[in-house]
Structure formats: C-alpha cells, structure tokens
Structure 1
Amino acid sequence: MVTTQDTRDDVRAGIVAAATQLLGEKGANAVTTRAVAQAAGVQAPTIYRLFGDKDGLIDAVAEHVMATYVSGKSVAADGDPVTDLRAGWRAHVEFGLTNPELYALIATRGSGAPSPATIAGLDVLRRRVRRLAAAGLLRVDEERALMMIHSAGNGTILTLLGMPTGQRDLGLGEAMLDAVLTSILATTPVTPDTTANAVAVTFATVLPDLQGLTDAERALMAEWLHRSLTHQTR
C-alpha cells in the first residue's frame, strides 16, 4: 500500500536527484528553484514546502552526494591519531575536488549559518582532534586546533578549485596539512609531550570525567585551562 509519506518521500527524492543532476551538468548557477522544479516535474511551491528555501534544497543535495561518496570510502577511526587525521584530511580534499560545484555552494553559503554538511564534518574532525589531545600530542587547545585544521582545509580546496584543472598543485594539500601540524602538534608526535601546554591540553580531555567536582567547578577549571593556553599561544 502506497502511503502519503511514501509519495512525499518519492517527490523529495526526485527533486534532490534533479537538483544534483543540474548541479553536476550545468553548475551552481543552474540550480534555481524554477529550473529544479521544471526538471523534477513539480511546481515551485512544492520545493518550498519540502525544503523551506534554496539553502534547504542545497543542504539536501549535499547530504545525498556526501552519503553516496562516503559509502564508497573507508576511513579508519582507530590506530595512530595523526595517521587518522591525515586520512580524513585527504578524503575531505578529494571530496571537494570531486564535487567542485557543490563544495563551492556549501563553502559560500549565503545565510551565514553553517550547513548541516559542514556541521557534520566538524563533528567528525572534532573527534579526531580529541584523539590527538587525549594522546598528549597537542600543543594548543582543541578548539584552536579544530579551527586551524578546518580553515586550512577549506582554504586549500577553494584555492585548488580556483586554478585550471591541469595547473593544480596537488601537493598543496599535504604541504598545508604539514604546516598546520607543525603548529599544533608537540615537537615529537610519537612521544607524548610533557611541556605545560601539552599537559594542560591533555588534562582538559579528562576534565568532564573527574569525580568529586561540581559542574561549576569543572567549568571554572576549563576556563582556567583555556585562559592559560590562549595566553601561551599569543
């Protein structure tokens, strides 16, 4: 038995497929509400009803494309945390270069709020950075490390996408990652650093699990650690 929900899901999937095809074949400028509606065989109000606005539609396209891409990839989340981070970085750069129009739309999102795809990517990166911190490998606090890696990754992809395909320096990604790692990692990554910065960053990762402290005391201690780390990295 076909339900109303089945029909709604089918229509939604058809619109996402049409938008994805337009994006791949004709570029970002072709993905207008009118063009997508025509390609999907629906009225424009249907798109607004199902996705809210164009940003909502782009978010759905990004989710669809990323799910398809990730399903064919396998990035380990165990073993050496630096190796794990490198693998994630390479996969991110490859995705951006493989899906240039979509990546540009996500990166230049007009609403000011990050897309769900960006938020999901940051969550994955945050877990990788946490593993570095827990292993005593960071010399800056986790949030600073997260933002440095995220910013460098986006900048690298957009820079490469701005170059003619045949003239892209494909070694730029590795060089940028090495530069960031030099700034955020302890001098000898294979051996946990015992300097004040590295110890403070590592301690911050276990702070939520410390027994005998109130939430207010944990928050205060976290503030002290953050203040100390921020002061030392200026």
Structure 2
Amino acid sequence: MDDDAKSRTRRQILEVAAGILEREGAQAVSTRAVAAAAGIRAASLYQLFGDKDGLLSALAIHAFDLYLSEKHTLAQSGDPVADMRRGWDMHVDFGLRHPAFYLLMYGSDRPGRRPPAAGEAQALVMRFLNRAADDGCLRVPPALAAHLTLAAVTGVTLSLIGASEDERDMEVSARMRDTLIDSLTVDPPPASDATLASRALALDAALDAALTGADGPALPLRPSETALLHDWLHELAR
C-alpha cells in the first residue's frame, strides 16, 4: 500500500470510527467493529493504528482538530474579558454537541497522555489571557488563570454531559463562568491609575510576547535572567 492509499484508508477508518464513537460511545469502538464498518481487513487497521488503544488515541487527535477548527473561528474583539466568556461558552457548546469526543479528550483514564493538539488548545487560551493581562485586566498570572479556567470549564462540561437533557441546567455553566472570570479579572484601570500588581502582570505578558518573538524581535536575555524577571514580576503582582 503506497502512502496516498494509506492516507485515504486511515482517513476512512477515522471517519467510520468517529461515527461509531458518536453514536454508540467508546465501548463500541472495537477494532473488529470498525474494520467491518469500514469494509477493510482487520490486519489493515492494526497496521495503521496498532490496536484499539492506538485507534482511540488517533480519535482523540481527530477530536481536538475538530475542536480547534471551531475555536479558530472565534475572532478576537477589543474586549479580552468578553472574549474569555465567549471562549468558555464555545467550549461547553462543543462538549454538549460532541459528548463522546469530549469524554475522549478530557475524561481520559490515562493521565499525562494528551495529543499534541491539546497543547495548541491551551495556547489559544493563553493568547486570550495574555491579552487580558497586557490590558491590566488580570488579578493573577496568565498561566494560573489558564489552569483555573480549564479545570472549571472541563468540570462544568463533564457535569452537564452526565446529566439527562431534561435535568441539564445551562445556568450552572453561566454562573460558574461569571464567578470564575470575575474572580480572575478586574476592570482595566486608566493608565494613570494602574495598580502596581496590574502593571506587573501587564509587563509579564508583554515579556512573554517579546521572548517568543510574537511582538517584535526577541529580547537578548539569558534563561536565568528571564526566570528571575518573571519571579520578580509575579511577586509584585501578589
């Protein structure tokens, strides 16, 4: 089988497996069932994915790719805090529309094993939070805000997925979203009134952008100097 044929077969298997996953759940995604539904020999599936665990890992990557394709359509507005709320709502909506995918993405029983696309999803969250910090809107460093946000939004989404449709209360999501975001953010102060903490967080976000080359040339700082500067800024932001 040449590379093009392998790519087509792989895509066909993933599409069939994704259909079974969304209709019947992960327990129905057996290598035998997927091979039969795709009209291929089980040996071809094993050759491409190894085993059921490999197939489920590939489906998790496929799920994150689908999630990211939707997330990238979320255009940034001039209000980073409003964008945080919209990002939360889009995340929850995706989980409720694709519960089996979501459980595979965030309900894994294999700690520490997330597909690379999960890192890209986290980077998108950090992009919004860095903007909020740069505008003086965050009470805490962006990395901590990202961890708190992901923990809260996945917990809410998994809880809503587990509820029957007639018991599902979307007010839970809205209240948790607003409670969390209100605890992480402040109204951006006028430039002359900015607090030391908000200025430190804004500078920390600007430093991250500069160091990655996202906002002009990278700064000529050694790793030890960068770490020390981050530590100082985080202390000032307390």
1:92-133 superposed Cα distances (whole Å, 9 cap, x missing partner): 110000011111122122332223343222111111111111
- TM-score norm. by structure 2 comes to 0.83
Contact conserved, 2:139 with 2:184, CA < 8 A, in 1? yes
Distance change (3 Å), C-alpha of 1:79 and 1:20: same
Count of aligned pairs between the two proteins: 227
Contact conserved, 2:63 with 2:102, CA < 8 A, in 1? no
1:57 CA displacement: 2.6
Matches of 2:87 and 2:189, distance apart in 1: 19
Question: What are the equivalent positions in structure 2 for 1:158-169 lying under 5 Å apart?
Answer: 158-169=158-169
Tell me the equivalent position of 2:94.
95
Q: Which amino acid in the other structure matches residue 168 of structure 1?
A: R
Tell me the equivalent position of 1:218.
226
Tell me the equivalent position of 1:203.
203
RMSD: 2.6
Tell me the equivalent position of 2:106.
107
Q: Mean alpha-carbon deviation: is it higher for 177-186 or for 25-34?
A: 25-34
Distance change (3 Å), C-alpha of 1:44 and 1:189: farther
- TM-score norm. by structure 1 comes to 0.84
Which of 6, 9, 12 matches 1:8? Answer: 6
Is 2:89 the counterpart of 1:81?
A: no
Runs of 4+ that moved beyond 6 A:
none
Unmatched segments (≥5 aa) in structure 1? none
Unmatched segments (≥5 aa) in structure 2? 212-218
Distance change (3 Å), C-alpha of 1:220 and 1:190: closer
Q: Aligned with 1:110: secondary structure?
A: coil
1:200 CA displacement: 1.5
Contact conserved, 1:84 with 1:128, CA < 8 A, in 2? yes
1:45-95 superposed Cα distances (whole Å, 9 cap, x missing partner): 433432345454334334445555665773112421112222211111100
Q: Which amino acid in the other structure matches residue 19 of structure 1?
A: A
Identity %: 37
